[in-house]
């Protein structure tokens, strides 16, 4: 259902409203905030992967000159966590440690050296317990338990079946099954974690400024862990140097900094090292998958079966949601009549995993798209043909009761097929070069939020005062994705005023309305709709004032170009600033509240876990990847990527392109080089040298195109743009490598050693086959 | 592998949080004891002798200044804490990410692995120094207008590396731009709009 209005692909978009601060160095990130006389915070971390704390003596540290506070697990008996049903973690360990690097105690001192000396004076004895570092070990019978109430170290299992899978496989012409695994990866946002907490002992008020994507959740957890009234807490989000999911749950160091500030009492600056930022983790888990598809000769999928095992790390975090997403988002992209999903989330003695861009969907999409390609090849079908054979028709509801209201995957396929010269070039490139493609999708905000309170999903306040400027107040966290700019555009467009008249104040709980935060790509869809609603309310007030002056009905008033006027001829027109004055005379300074709520029918199926994956609008993406493989070294080079994303409507096309390019490139990192590794629970990757984020020199040109399907519920028809394209890259790359050298890889990342191993195996098999043939003849 | 594990035991968590590999204990011994006693000062709990200070004179963004600085003070900390210019960023534990890149006599240098006292008499330029009479430089304008900056954290370092490039090579091709920026990691843009920004700036008069 593509309701394209007009071809306006050429709209360039606008720079970010906070862009000048960023390029001139004026933007203040958490570590840049004024803290000249603040105390310095440091954390003592567990030296073992699993152990019982026998003795923890902080007396010498407390006694050290210059130490203002020392806190331990005894200072906070409360658990914290993002899911109300799975808060099983303490900010500072109490009695037991479950991963190497888990916080045990923390110090605030007058300077870094004193804080570090104080840490060294803390006496700690830990009795080591057996530790498990893989899902397999942790699930084995007799394995030591991380959490006594979780037998088999099984955090959660999910078993969903929709449609008749047995019948589906029986109806297939080809049934294939593959085992595919993906390594654990990390967000590696360039800004290391930091938090500045200020506790005023006289007023009993706490102000916390942090790198958070979810200031509201941080607010709630501070109140819970510090046993403070929420009204005495203020949470501010300064400029944030990237998120990607790293900061979508409250992190231990944030609560620890606040505990130190209260204990001191005073202002405490906590800046984690890059190594500690890696240890804090919360990223995409190592995943083992078994995927099985049934297909007819024409490429139509008859059934899908997928088993997913996620190595979750030591605590729950977002784990249950990650596991549910991995199953739920097998749906919503293709028309499949039978799907079975079995998911297992396993506790292991490693830093806890969490949400990362494309949350939950990326690895199972990878397995699916790889197998789809391999089966297409076996049936002699083109990869595009097999995807086109399974397209959905919007509007529709999936088997697991997710709404699909707009669907531009077909157009995405057309665009990348054309741009890449697929028909002309696929299978005809020189040896060692190949083309691969894949599709992906993602939600535009979870239709049922984690902390379900029944309140609107988003609220934006808009203020208008004597200065004639429109100030939008939003709790939405701009973490570089451009959400504040999106809010400004939504308001300016609706009011018919230039962007310069709008100011956005974001992420300060003392000023801005509560917002659930920057996750699940919810901001454009939900906050955008709320911003439009606020602007419409302002417009109604201003139209009324203009109508009185022009002696007409408010309904006859139009506004555009900073003017309010009647009819098309603009015979009687009032400038915006005059109308503001008229309205203020009537009412004084104006503040309106715009809201957005996802209706119950959007909030997913009634089955257990059915809310995860539910959304008002899915984005869709297709991409083609061109690679060169060096068969002597196993090195894979990405030469070019062509991508298209259906984001409903690009509110800011330049920002959409930026998000598509960035997400594809992040998928490339996971596909080619990024991988966390541990030796007995000790991270071997905890620096940006060992954790291989692609550099500019290794990164390809990416040609991103936008498909606009004008979603019926999105703000101006928009859907999300930041996550949907990521999951397509890894399978497109693996499919391209298969196209280049005839090898189907089953593990990510596609490092040279993995490619060489597969090449050597292939050559050996060829030799053995030749020998066998010779012997036979 | 045994060798690797030997090496691992010397790692600690950045600030010296005393995390050790339990493996260096004997087989039966299951009690791990921290701290790691990194040096003699730690063992006795006495204060380390203060590093000596020196008078450092240099030019920072066109202004001559003289400061008393510790001999072990890193240039990034000198710029951020002593001079108060927070445009320069710390993104890693030393020389990995490029967010701290500044110019010393026109050369792009990671300030987090440079000692301040090594800059005696040198001309230091930071992102703040590129704004002349309130007008951002061509690179700053291009990064803003072309979305070369998303979260903006790598941006100051990225722009300084690009500035050094354009001064030595006014018309770089894409490969030269990518090579010149390969020491600066960005996690948001996929570098596409960064390369485009540098290309655009190069076309403008400086």
Tens digit of each residue's pLDDT (9 = 90 or more) over A690-737: 999 999 999 999 999 999 999 999 999 999 999 999 999 999 999 999
Residues A499-556: tens digit of each pLDDT = 999 999 999 999 999 999 999 999 999 999 999 999 999 999 999 999 999 999 999 9
How distant is the Cα of A753 from the closest Cα of chain B, in angstroms?
Answer: 18
* CA–CA dist A218, A354 (Å, integer): 16
Q: What is the pTM of this model?
A: 0.94
A239 in contact with chain B, both atoms CB, cutoff 8 A:
yes
Residues B128-159: tens digit of each pLDDT = 999 999 999 999 999 999 999 999 999 999 99
pLDDT of residue A777: 83
Q: Which residue of B has its CA nearest to A659?
A: B189
Partner-chain residue, chosen from A18, A187, A661, that has the shortest CB–CB distance to B192? A661
DSSP three-state, residue A340: strand
Residues A597-628: tens digit of each pLDDT = 999 999 998 999 999 999 999 999 999 999 99
Residues in A closer than 8 angstroms to B143, CB to CB, are 19, 22-23
pLDDT greater than 70 at residue B42: no
Cβ contact B149–A22 (<8 Å) = yes
* CA–CA dist A332, A249 (Å, integer): 26
Residues B96-105: tens digit of each pLDDT = 999 999 999 9
DSSP three-state, residue A42: strand
A16 in contact with chain B, both atoms CB, cutoff 8 A:
yes
* CA–CA dist A723, A442 (Å, integer): 6
Closest CA to A345 of A358, A363, A371: A363
* CA–CA dist A153, A114 (Å, integer): 40
Cβ contact B32–A665 (<8 Å) = no
Best mutation site among A190, A277, A356 for testing chain B: the one with the most B CBs within 10 Å?
Answer: A190
pLDDT greater than 70 at residue A264: yes
pLDDT of residue B45: 55
* CA–CA dist A619, A404 (Å, integer): 10
pLDDT of residue B7: 40
Cβ contact A279–B13 (<8 Å) = yes
Q: What proportion of chain B, given as a percentage, has pLDDT over 70?
A: 77
Cβ contact A658–B147 (<8 Å) = yes
Q: What phi, psi does A304 have (nearest 5°)? A: -140, 135
pLDDT range class, residue A4, cuts 50, 70, 90 = very low
Q: What proportion of chain A, given as a percentage, has pLDDT over 70?
A: 98
From first CA to last CA, the distance across chain B in angstroms is 54
* CA–CA dist B89, B187 (Å, integer): 15
CB B87 within 8 A of CB B128: yes
Residues in B closer than 8 angstroms to A54, CB to CB, are 31
Residues in B closer than 8 angstroms to A70, CB to CB, are none
Q: Which residues of A71-87 are buried (b: 16+ CB within 10 A; e: fewer)?
A: bbbebbeebbbbbeebb
pLDDT range class, residue A125, cuts 50, 70, 90 = very high
Cβ contact A657–B5 (<8 Å) = no
Cβ contact B31–A125 (<8 Å) = yes
Residues A275-318: tens digit of each pLDDT = 999 999 999 999 999 999 999 999 999 999 999 999 999 999 99
pLDDT of residue A422: 98
**A432-440: average pLDDT:** 98
pLDDT greater than 80 at residue A322: yes
Residues A627-678: tens digit of each pLDDT = 999 999 999 999 999 999 999 999 999 999 999 999 999 999 999 999 999 9
Q: Which residue of B has its CA nearest to A190?
A: B91
* CA–CA dist A694, A669 (Å, integer): 6
Cβ contact A24–B126 (<8 Å) = no
How distant is the Cα of B74 from the closest Cα of chain A, in angstroms?
Answer: 14
Structure-token match 């080809």, residue found: A174
Closest CA to A490 of A659, A708, A649, A618: A649
Cβ contact A127–B30 (<8 Å) = yes
Residues A383-393: tens digit of each pLDDT = 999 999 999 99
* CA–CA dist A317, A242 (Å, integer): 20
3-state helix, strand, coil in chain A (%, to 5): 35, 25, 40
Cβ contact B147–A191 (<8 Å) = no
Please report, for residues A186, A204, A246, A776, B131, the alpha-carbon distance to residue A312 in angstroms, rounded to integers and kept in the order given.
Answer: 13, 38, 15, 51, 47
Cβ contact A15–B145 (<8 Å) = yes
A286 in contact with chain B, both atoms CB, cutoff 8 A:
no
Report chain A's mean pLDDT, rounded to a whole number: 96
Question: What are A149's two structure tokens?
Answer: 């109430």
Cβ contact B145–A664 (<8 Å) = no
Q: Classify the C-alpha dihedral B116-B119-B124-B127 as positive or negative.
A: negative
Cβ contact B149–A23 (<8 Å) = yes
A702 beta partners: A641
Residues in B closer than 8 angstroms to A117, CB to CB, are 41-42, 45, 47
3-state helix, strand, coil in chain B (%, to 5): 35, 15, 45
DSSP three-state, residue A339: strand
pLDDT greater than 50 at residue B166: yes
Q: Which residues contact A19 (CB under 8 A, 6 or more apart)?
A: B143, B144, B147, B149, B152
Residues in A closer than 8 angstroms to B177, CB to CB, are 696
pLDDT of residue A204: 97
Cβ contact B15–A25 (<8 Å) = no
pLDDT of residue A229: 98
pLDDT of residue B99: 98
pLDDT range class, residue A570, cuts 50, 70, 90 = low
Question: What are B162's two structure tokens?
Answer: 């690009």
Q: Which residue of B has its CA nearest to A668?
A: B190
Please report, for residues A36, A612, B130, the alpha-carbon distance to residue A26 in angstroms, rounded to integers and kept in the order given.
Answer: 18, 40, 12
Closest CA to A245 of A725, A723, A729, A671: A723
Cβ contact A126–B31 (<8 Å) = yes
pLDDT range class, residue A10, cuts 50, 70, 90 = low
Structure-token match 């054309």, residue found: A418
Query: How many CA atoms within 13 Å lie on the side-chain side of A660?
Result: 31
Please report, for residues A166, A172, A370, A466, A588, the alpha-carbon distance to residue A375 in angstroms, rounded to integers and kept in the order given.
Answer: 19, 12, 9, 66, 68
A756 in contact with chain B, both atoms CB, cutoff 8 A:
no
**A571-577: average pLDDT:** 88
Write the DSSP string, A108-132: EESSHHHHHHHHHH-EEEEEE----
Residues in B closer than 8 angstroms to A18, CB to CB, are 152
**A578-582: average pLDDT:** 96
* CA–CA dist A384, A410 (Å, integer): 10
pLDDT greater than 70 at residue A83: yes
A46 in contact with chain B, both atoms CB, cutoff 8 A:
yes
Q: Which residue of B has its CA nearest to A664?
A: B190
ipTM rounded to 2 decimals: 0.96
pLDDT greater than 60 at residue B43: no
pLDDT range class, residue B37, cuts 50, 70, 90 = very low
Residues in A closer than 8 angstroms to B47, CB to CB, are 117
pLDDT of residue B23: 35
């Amino acid at each position: 259902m593509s309701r394209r209005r007009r071809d306006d692909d050429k709209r360039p978009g606008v720079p970010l409203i906070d862009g000048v601060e960023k390029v001139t160095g004026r933007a203040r990130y958490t570590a840049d905030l004024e803290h000249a006389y603040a105390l310095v915070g440091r954390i003592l971390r567990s030296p073992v992967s699993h152990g019982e704390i026998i003795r923890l003596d902080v007396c010498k540290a407390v006694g050290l000159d210059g130490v203002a506070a020392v806190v331990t697990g005894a200072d906070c008996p409360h658990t914290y966590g993002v899911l109300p049903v799975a808060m099983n973690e303490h900010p500072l360990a109490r009695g037991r440690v479950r991963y190497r690097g888990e916080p045990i105690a923390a110090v605030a001192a007058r300077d870094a050296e004193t804080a570090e000396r104080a840490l060294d004076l803390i006496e700690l004895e830990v009795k080591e317990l057996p530790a498990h570092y893989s899902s397999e070990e942790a699930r084995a019978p007799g394995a030591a338990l991380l959490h006594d109430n979780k037998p088999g170290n099984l955090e959660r299992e999910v078993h969903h079946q929709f449609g008749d899978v047995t019948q589906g496989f029986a109806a297939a012409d080809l049934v294939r099954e593959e085992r595919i695994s993906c390594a654990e990866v990390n967000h590696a946002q360039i800004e290391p974690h930091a938090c500045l907490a200020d506790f005023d002992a006289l007023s009993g008020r706490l102000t916390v400024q942090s790198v958070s994507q979810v200031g509201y959740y941080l607010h709630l957890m501070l109140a819970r862990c510090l046993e403070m009234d929420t009204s005495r807490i203020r949470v501010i989000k300064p400029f944030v140097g990237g998120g990607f999911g790293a900061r979508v749950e409250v992190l231990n160091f944030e609560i620890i900094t606040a505990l130190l500030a209260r204990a001191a009492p005073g202002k405490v600056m906590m800046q984690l090292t890059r190594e500690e930022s890696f240890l804090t983790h919360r990223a995409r888990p190592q995943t083992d998958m078994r995927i099985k598809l049934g297909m007819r000769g024409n490429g139509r999928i008859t059934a899908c079966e997928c088993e997913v095992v996620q190595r979750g790390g030591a605590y729950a975090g977002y784990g249950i949601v990650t596991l549910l997403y991995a199953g739920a988002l097998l749906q919503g992209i293709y028309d499949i009549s039978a799907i079975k999903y079995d998911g297992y989330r396993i506790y292991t003695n490693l830093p806890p995993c969490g949400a990362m861009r494309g949350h939950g969907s990326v690895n199972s999409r990878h397995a699916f798209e790889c197998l789809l390609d391999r089966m297409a090849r076996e049936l002699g079908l083109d990869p595009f043909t097999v995807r086109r054979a399974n397209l959905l028709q919007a509007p529709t509801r999936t088997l697991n009761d997710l709404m699909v209201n707009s669907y531009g995957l077909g157009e995405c396929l057309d665009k990348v097929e054309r741009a890449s010269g697929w028909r002309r070039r696929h299978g005809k490139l020189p040896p060692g070069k190949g083309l691969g493609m894949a599709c992906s999708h993602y939600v535009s905000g979870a239709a049922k939020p984690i902390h379900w309170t029944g309140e609107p999903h988003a609220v934006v306040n808009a203020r208008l005062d004597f200065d004639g400027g429109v100030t939008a107040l939003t709790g939405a966290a701009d973490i570089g994705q451009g959400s504040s700019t999106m809010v400004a555009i939504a308001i300016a467009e609706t009011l018919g005023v230039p962007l310069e008249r709008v100011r956005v104040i974001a992420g300060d709980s003392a000023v801005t309305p509560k917002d659930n935060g920057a996750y699940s790509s919810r901001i454009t869809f939900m906050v955008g709709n709320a911003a439009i609603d606020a602007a419409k309310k302002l417009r109604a007030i201003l139209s009324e004032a203009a109508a009185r002056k022009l002696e007409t009905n408010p309904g006859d008033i139009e506004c555009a170009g900073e003017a309010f006027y009647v009819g098309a001829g603009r015979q009687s027109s009032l400038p915006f600033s005059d109308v503001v004055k008229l309205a203020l005379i009537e009412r004084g300074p104006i503040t309106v509240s715009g809201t957005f709520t996802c209706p119950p029918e959007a909030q997913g199926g009634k089955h257990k876990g059915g809310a995860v994956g539910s959304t008002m609008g899915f984005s869709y993406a297709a991409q083609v990847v061109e690679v060169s493989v060096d068969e002597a070294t196993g090195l894979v080079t990405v030469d070019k990527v062509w991508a298209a994303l259906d984001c409903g409507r690009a509110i800011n096309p330049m920002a959409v392109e930026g998000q598509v390019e960035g997400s594809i490139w992040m998928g490339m990192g996971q596909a080619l080089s990024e991988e966390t590794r541990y030796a007995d629970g000790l991270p071997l990757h905890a620096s940006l040298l060992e954790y291989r984020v692609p550099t500019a020199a290794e990164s390809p040109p990416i040609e991103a195109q936008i498909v606009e399907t004008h979603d019926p519920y999105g703000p101006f028809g928009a859907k999300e743009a930041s996550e949907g394209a990521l999951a397509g890259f890894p399978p497109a790359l693996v499919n391209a490598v298969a196209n280049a050298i005839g090898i189907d890889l089953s593990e990510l990342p596609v490092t040279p050693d993995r490619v060489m191993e597969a090449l050597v195996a292939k050559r050996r098999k060829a030799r053995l086959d030749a020998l066998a043939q010779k012997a036979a003849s | 592998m045994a060798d690797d594990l030997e090496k691992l035991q010397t790692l600690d968590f950045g600030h010296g949080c005393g995390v050790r590999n339990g493996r260096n204990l004997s087989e039966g011994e299951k009690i791990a004891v921290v701290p790691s006693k990194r040096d003699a000062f730690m063992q006795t709990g006495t204060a380390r002798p203060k590093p000596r200070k020196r008078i450092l004179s240099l030019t920072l963004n066109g202004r001559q200044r003289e400061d008393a600085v510790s001999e072990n003070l890193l240039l990034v900390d000198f710029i951020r804490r002593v001079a108060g210019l927070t445009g320069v960023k710390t993104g890693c534990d030393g020389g990995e990410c490029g967010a701290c890149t500044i110019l010393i006599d026109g050369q792009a240098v990671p300030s987090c692995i440079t000692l301040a006292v090594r800059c005696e008499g040198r001309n230091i330029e930071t992102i703040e120094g590129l704004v002349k009479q309130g007008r951002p430089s061509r690179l700053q304008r291009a990064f803003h207008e072309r979305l070369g900056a998303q979260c903006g954290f790598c941006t100051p370092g990225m722009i300084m590396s690009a500035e050094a490039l354009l001064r030595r090579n006014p018309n770089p091709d894409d490969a030269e731009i990518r090579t010149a920026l390969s020491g600066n990691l960005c996690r948001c843009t996929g570098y596409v709009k960064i390369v485009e920004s540098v290309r655009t700036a190069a076309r403008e008069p400086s």
